[in-house]
Homo-oligomer: A and B are copies of this chain.
Amino acid sequence: MNSDFSALDAFLDDAGVDGFLIDAAGDDSDQVYLSGFDAPDPFHTLYDGEVHLLVSSLEYGRAKKESDAATVDRHADYEMRSLVEDHGRLEGGRRVLASFLDERNVGSVAVPARFPLATADGLREQGIDVRTPESPPIGRGGANVIETIRATKTDEEIEHVATAQEANEAAMEAAEDLVRAATVEGDELHYEGEPLTSERVKEEIEVTLLRHGCALDETIVACGANAADPHDRGSGPLTAGEPIIVDIFPRDKSTKYHADMTRTFCKGDPSDEIREWYDLTAAAKEAALALVEPGVTGADVHDAVCDVYEDAGEPTLRSDETTETGFIHNTGHGVGLDVHEQPLVGPGGGELEPGHVITIEPGLYDPAVGGVRIEDIVVVTEDGYRNFTSYPEALVVE
């Protein structure tokens, strides 16, 4: 990956500890990032200026081959069997880990906030100082130092996102094609003699993504009142004349990097209000993008969106923190190994830097009207941004 870990070195200096330790499996993006390795069961990664792995015998060969770690050890290198015989499986395992740290003269470690308690307590019993110091976040508290480093992508990571977005555009096209092919019966969309449902469109999206090497756990195809709740995944028949929000956030199965894009479609004639919302949201997205460059903050970009909406008389959380209609979420978020990661493009969001991959996704919502959202994904460059999104913007599907 050739990532720059100098921020981690500085963090460890500040915290006054010898190393950073992760105990997690390959479903933890910090683990995948720091170790350069993926495995179904938890393993240990130590950073002390270099990356060191401690894995089971089962994963040893693959870890040596696939990771870029300076060293790869297995439990058996630390007398696992006799320690387990003497102390039981859990206590034996902790003693192996303590020996692995001791071998590198690591007596104190910083760990992520969600580091497993039993491992921490076990290490503390072995005399290791285990702490969860907070790291300087990009914009808001809670991010650990690895998440902060992950926010800045290498050229290789940027291409991974671009590739995932290509698959995403094919999936969006498949969804729009299905809406286009539908007929209107009463006020319902029909396809092949049956009501066209959110579920059916999602299936088409997922199959298309699979054919392009991507996976996803969830996708949003939400119409009418469903679409008025930004967290609703959508279900049931799609309705003519109402906006359908399609939000797809796939993960490339080979690289594990995500893309993210939203478009809003309407089959049949939308109301004037929906047309206005759509144009306003497109304008809000453009206003936000016009600001994106290094040094501008995520908060500034978010304010640009709020300005557009508030100038048009729409409520925002900035103007009324209790509003349940209008613009009721952040402008965007980082995208990478996680679909939501640093940096924040919202209130408190810090300075954008070259290599930050972010979404810009303004939207308006009202249960009485529905919802409209348009989302692009871009990477911040030295002098602006590169937009990974080339999918057209058009509300009405004809």
Residues of B within 8 A of A132 (CB): 117-118, 121
- Known interface pairs A114-B116, A117-B115; A211-B203 also in contact (CB < 8 Å): yes
A389 vs B278: C-alpha distance when bound (angstroms): 51
A90 vs B140: C-alpha distance when bound (angstroms): 11
Q: Can you name the residue of chain B whose Cβ is closest to the Cβ of A92?
A: B141
A231 within 8 A of B: yes
Q: CB within 8 Å of B: which of A101-142?
A: 111, 113-121, 130, 132, 134, 140-142
Report yes or no: B130 in contact with A90, Cβ–Cβ below 8 A.
no
Residues of B within 8 A of A111 (CB): 117
- What is the distance, in angstroms, from A298's C-beta to the closest C-beta of chain B? 17
- What is the distance, in angstroms, from A32's C-beta to the closest C-beta of chain B? 14
A210 within 8 A of B: yes
Q: Can you name the residue of chain B whose Cβ is closest to the Cβ of A116?
A: B114
Report yes or no: B210 in contact with A206, Cβ–Cβ below 8 A.
yes
A119 vs B112: C-alpha distance when bound (angstroms): 11
Residue of B117, B142, B231 near A114 (CB, 8 A) is B117
What is the copy number of this chain in the assembly?
2
Report yes or no: A90 in contact with B142, Cβ–Cβ below 8 A.
yes
A155 within 8 A of B: no
- What is the distance, in angstroms, from A189's C-beta to the closest C-beta of chain B? 20
A27 within 8 A of B: yes
Residue of B114, B118, B203 near A210 (CB, 8 A) is B203
A96 within 8 A of B: no
Report yes or no: A115 in contact with B116, Cβ–Cβ below 8 A.
yes
Q: Can you name the residue of chain B whose Cβ is closest to the Cβ of A144?
A: B118
Q: Can you name the residue of chain B whose Cβ is closest to the Cβ of A340?
A: B40
Residue of B58, B88, B119, B141 near A90 (CB, 8 A) is B141
Residues of B within 8 A of A27 (CB): 27
A89 within 8 A of B: yes
Binary flags per residue of A302-320, CB closer than 8 Å to B gives 1, else 0: 0000000000000000000
- What is the distance, in angstroms, from A211's C-beta to the closest C-beta of chain B? 7
A14 within 8 A of B: no
- What is the distance, in angstroms, from A174's C-beta to the closest C-beta of chain B? 13
A207 within 8 A of B: yes
A217 within 8 A of B: yes
A215 within 8 A of B: yes
A77 vs B207: C-alpha distance when bound (angstroms): 43
Report yes or no: A130 in contact with B117, Cβ–Cβ below 8 A.
yes
A276 vs B234: C-alpha distance when bound (angstroms): 52
Report yes or no: A141 in contact with B88, Cβ–Cβ below 8 A.
yes
- What is the distance, in angstroms, from A135's C-beta to the closest C-beta of chain B? 12
Residues of B within 8 A of A58 (CB): 231
- What is the distance, in angstroms, from A89's C-beta to the closest C-beta of chain B? 4
- What is the distance, in angstroms, from A66's C-beta to the closest C-beta of chain B? 13
Residues of B within 8 A of A134 (CB): 90
A140 vs B130: C-alpha distance when bound (angstroms): 28
Residues of B within 8 A of A211 (CB): 203, 207
A111 vs B119: C-alpha distance when bound (angstroms): 13
A192 vs B348: C-alpha distance when bound (angstroms): 55
Residues of B within 8 A of A118 (CB): 113-115, 132
5 smallest A-B Cβ distances: which pairs?
A113-B118, A114-B116, A89-B141, A118-B132, A115-B117
Known contacts A89-B141, A90-B142, A113-B116, then 10 further A-B pairs from the complex at CB < 8 Å, ordered by chain A residue? A111-B117, A113-B117, A114-B117, A115-B117, A115-B118, A117-B117, A118-B132, A206-B210, A207-B207, A215-B217
Q: List 8 A-B contacts (CB under 8 A).
A: A89-B142, A113-B116, A115-B118, A116-B117, A117-B117, A118-B132, A207-B210, A215-B217
